Amino acid sequence: MENVSSVNSASFYIALFGIAMLIFVIFAVMLVYGKTRPVKQGFYGGAITGSSAIPCGRMSSEAESLYALFASKNTKQSEEGSANMMDLKNLLSKLCCFKKDLMSPQQIISAVKELGFSTQQDIQPLGDLTGRCFNKTIPERDLSLQFIKWREAGLTLIHRLCTEGKLSESEVVKAEQLFKKVMEDVQDVAYTQCLATLPKEKKLRSDPEPMMTEDVSYLKSYDGLY
């Protein structure tokens, strides 16, 4: 009887130890997973916060080059220069993330949802603008006004930073050209993705349009009768 009791007691402690180990393993896995759980950033165009100095910067090499140009001039030394650099970074991030969401096959508001609203740069929250683009409910005028405001805000910041960093004339021209390319690129994507009907001046060269050559222009329209 004593042997049976000893065996039962040993089995009980072994089982108890096994349960304790199982609980420990489950707790450890949950702890590690909780610390390494990925942030959902979408697939198109890479991660929002990646190797680029600006969020979504991989969507535009010109935007990255423009930011790097001013960063190399130590424009952050003064309080005003640091504020202007932050505003430029925010503006470039909005343009790049706006493009990223518009070109995403999923058509979900992802990259722009964390970007703040600025009265100096925005007419409406970027998330609302992106949603209207997906639904194709934004008028051409509203879209154009937003790009005008972005362009004016960008050029103002560029001129301030050029003065702050004491850029040469050629560097000023380069900065303006880089910003112009960023704006044109994002605006082309926006006009294509946001508007139900593409404006005539924005039609792509590949879009089919009716045409009539001179050799048949004198003929009357055919109505099915001879």
Q: What is residue 24's predicted lDDT score, i.e. its pLDDT?
A: 72
Q: What is residue 86's predicted lDDT score, i.e. its pLDDT?
A: 94
Is the model's pLDDT at 125 over the cut of 50? Answer: yes
Same domain, 67 and 14: no
If one counts the domains in the chain, the total is 2
Same domain, 24 and 85: no
Q: How far is the C-alpha of 214 from the C-alpha of 57, rounded, in Å?
A: 49
- Of the two residues 7 and 151, the one the predictor is more confident about is 151
- Between the alpha carbon of residue 52 and those of residues 89, 117, 119, 163, the distances in Å are 11, 22, 26, 25
The phi, psi pair for 107, rounded to 5°, reads 50, 60
- For 3-34, the pLDDT digits (tens) are 545 545 666 667 777 677 777 767 665 765 55
Q: Is residue 84 part of a domain?
A: yes
Same domain, 30 and 79: no
Is the model's pLDDT at 144 over the cut of 70? Answer: yes
Same domain, 83 and 26: no
Q: Is residue 16 part of a domain?
A: yes
Q: How far is the C-alpha of 185 from the C-alpha of 59, rounded, in Å?
A: 10
Cβ atoms 27, 49 nearer than 8 A: no
Q: Is residue 216 part of a domain?
A: no
- Please name which of 71, 98, 65 lies closest in space to residue 84, comparing C-alpha atoms: 71
Residue at 39: amino acid letter: V
**Torsion over CA: 80, 156, 145, 209 (sign):** negative
Same domain, 140 and 81: yes
Same domain, 25 and 122: no
Q: Is residue 148 part of a domain?
A: yes
Same domain, 137 and 62: yes
Q: What is residue 82's predicted lDDT score, i.e. its pLDDT?
A: 85
- For 30-50, the pLDDT digits (tens) are 765 554 444 444 444 445 455
Same domain, 75 and 180: yes
| pLDDT, the chain, mean | 80
Once rounded to an integer, what is the mean pLDDT over residues 89-110?
Answer: 95
Q: Is residue 211 part of a domain?
A: no
Could you please report the per-residue DSSP string of 194-210?
H-SS--GGG--TTS---
Cα end-to-end distance, the chain, whole Å: 118
- Please name which of 175, 151, 147 lies closest in space to residue 161, comparing C-alpha atoms: 175
Same domain, 160 and 86: yes
- For 190-207, the pLDDT digits (tens) are 999 999 886 655 544 444
Span of 143-147, 161-165, 179-183, 216-220 with lowest mean pLDDT = 216-220
Same domain, 32 and 63: no
Same domain, 24 and 106: no
Residue 150 belongs to domain spanning: 57-199
Same domain, 31 and 107: no
Is the model's pLDDT at 212 over the cut of 60? Answer: no
